[in-house]
Amino acid sequence: MGRNCMNTLTFGLLAILLNQSLSGYDLMLKINTFWNIPHSRIYPTLAKLEQENYVSYIMIEQKGKPDKKVYSITEKGIIAVKEWILMPLDSSVKKDEFHLRVYCTHLLDKERAIKLIKEREENILKKIEVRKKRIEEIKTQCDNKIESTSSSYFSRYILISKLISEDEIEVKWCRWVMGLYNNEWGVNFLDMSFLEF
Partner DNA sequence: TAAAACATGTAACTAGTTACATGATTAG
Partner DNA sequence: CTAATCATGTAACTAGTTACATGTTTTA
The reply to whether 2 sits near DNA by the rule CB under 7 A is: no
Q: At what angle do helices 110-141 and 152-181 cross, to 10 degrees?
A: 160
| Residue 171 interacts with, from DNA, a copy of itself, none (CB under 5-8 Å by kind) | none
Applying the rule CB under 7 A, the residues between 149 and 188 that interact with DNA are none
d(CA 54, CA 78): 8
The reply to whether 193 sits near a copy of itself by the rule CB under 8 A is: no
Determine how many CB atoms are found less than 10 A away from the CB of residue 17: 23
| Bridge partner residues of 50 (DSSP) | none
The reply to whether 37 sits near DNA by the rule CB under 7 A is: yes
Applying the rule CB under 8 A, the residues between 8 and 67 that interact with a copy of itself are 8, 11-12, 15-16, 18, 32-36
Tell which residue, 68, 79, 78, 74, has the closest CA to residue 29: 68
**Using CB under 7 A as the criterion, which residues of the chain lie in contact with DNA when the complex forms?**
7-9, 23-26, 29, 35-41, 43-44, 46-47, 62, 64-69, 92, 95
